[in-house]
Chain A
């Protein structure tokens, strides 16, 4: 069941109504039933894996007492990571081995949806218990709900025991302000997903499939669109997840903070998929030694962390390259930091002005977008082909002359609408960047104006949904991981 399926439109209000109608002590149980039902709608078979992972981590955390602590943790990590590696990379690995040893490696493994997310969440909890940051949860229902909480199970945010589990333990009660904010965020998430990400998805998929027909400038244009697609897709999902959780009275981790306003790559990773970055920092980078063991070790740790991040995203070599590129960006950034500052000082470059920040943002975006080529292309070699075209067959004048953008499968009026929608997201992000709360401003407006905007907003999204209906609309990109 996807957030934008007819089933969910019925499921969500029903779960909310019953949740608030029942006594507080049963609320977690009800939400757990709802979460398992939600997940089972994707696959009953994979629900068993979810349950087993939950059981294993629950028992491990409870068993983590005395001198066997380390052994239990190691066993739990090995068992869970083996499951993750087998399900996620088994098919890919068998294929590679098949090529090397010349045998037919026809095995098919369906990766459970959301596995990478709930697995990290559960492992984070076990490590937190080991580090005594969290007390092992005795109540299985509460813990199972923490792992399977339906707003976050498919694509995160990857929650922490110190955050979500704590709220589950304390319980929630109805908050008018939270519920209202939640609904607004759900609608905004829909807007990002349906009106922007899905529209761009059709263009990107078509262009990547037929890239031989396009000039480098058009490919570059589509690569930039992809950066917007993946942002609006994932941020759209995260906003919906955040909003749904808020309706139940829960706060989940904010996953995005205007990532394309980042001034450098380090800043980008503080704004993009924050829950994963933080998880990798706390459970991979710091245990490896972080920046405490000298420069070379820091660089190695950074590279390793980003390679793990790449591998977490998928089982193709392209993801490895994508992670590696971000690692290189970070390492290169640190190595050159001093010399760059020296140059800036000698040239008397004013770094505290709007134009310099814009320059930094453009450079950061270009680097991030370059890495997205590997992320989005069908394979590593497809990505190389796209890059080759961008650099060696740019052909700007030719593309303008034949209006190549019109050959991307969308009419001129649709382009105008798409850019209008992108501008709305851009303005909202800019206001958030300036710490201006749109909701607070909106709350001060006349009730007729507010309701008019709400109604028209939902109507526009509905019409947009109908526009995409019947086409192979893109699923949420991050649910594939």
Chain B
């Protein structure tokens, strides 16, 4: 029996070695795509999603330059304002994705303020829904954790938030090296993200604006300490969503956000449904810079940003 056990142990050790070799192959170089193909996980590295999408913006806000205004926001903000970046060297446009949650937006703001001396304004430009984003088991890890873990910026969040994130994603997977391994390897992503989706549950906020309240307040305090003006405006929303936005108002009025930005939901610009390709982002003939600019001029009309922002 002892011989049998010894052989089994030896076999498991050798197999473990082979698995480690495959794991290392899956991280870089030529082996990365081969392992991805044979494990049916190509789609996990095929698109520019998650950390690959967000990390350039972390680099961007960290870059020491002459900009004095920061614009943060979700994917609609990104769609409408990103084309203006080449024309506006004085403004740092970092509209990303709502999935990074308000924790991610806070980290971007904090990094920007740390690396820029004369910041005058920070603009938060979101759809109303983006303020309710929590730590999900679908996109949450790839957006709210992975890029920030890899850039060592998760530590900027408070201990309580980190604990809540750990409860959803597992502390081990929030370490820099592990997040990096998951990011680089398609099969690691496939295993971890599927396990997360299957066995974990998203964080349930005590009220709809729990995370937003905490982290917009942190951004607010950061601005106050540094003499920066903070603005929060809503991205355009489809006319068909008017009712759901109206329904949000009572909860919003009870949140901390309301005390500072009481008009946020009042000033939402409603647009015909036909202008949106997927109900959220502009699509088809409406997905043009000219059209975005027209809407931006209406939304930012009363702000100082209009004096700074160049559209042509």
Contact = CB atoms under 8 A, between A and B. Distances in A.
A466 interface: yes
A180 B4 contact: yes
Given A20-B1, A466-B39, A467-B39, A455 B190 contact: no
B18 interface: yes
Given A176-B3, A176-B4, A180-B4, A466 B191 contact: yes
Interface string B201-229: 00000000000000000000000000000
B132 to A, nearest CB: 28
B11 A455 contact: yes
Main secondary structure of the interface of A (DSSP, over half): helix
Interface in A440-470: 451, 454-455, 458-459, 462-463, 466-470
Interface in A175-197: 176, 179-180, 183
Contact of A466 (B3, B4, B40): B40
A interface bracket (residues with beta carbon within 8 Å of B): 10 to 19
Contacts of B39: 463, 466-467
B22 interface: yes
Contacts of B255: none
Contacts, number: 42
Given A20-B1, A466-B190, A455 B38 contact: no
B161 interface: no
A467 B194 contact: no
A18 to B, nearest CB: 13
B11 A454 contact: yes
Contacts of B3: 176
Contacts of A419: none
B14 interface: yes
B156 interface: no
A459 B22 CA distance: 10
Contact of B14 (A179, A455, A469): A455
A462 B191 contact: no
Contact of B18 (A179, A183, A459, A466): A459
A174 interface: yes
Contacts of B41: 466
Interface of B: 1, 3-4, 8, 11, 14-15, 18-19, 22, 38-41, 187, 190-191, 193-194
Counting from the closest, the 6 A-B pairs by CB-CB distance are: A470-B194, A467-B40, A466-B39, A174-B1, A459-B18, A176-B4
Interface of A: 20, 174, 176, 179-180, 183, 451, 454-455, 458-459, 462-463, 466-471
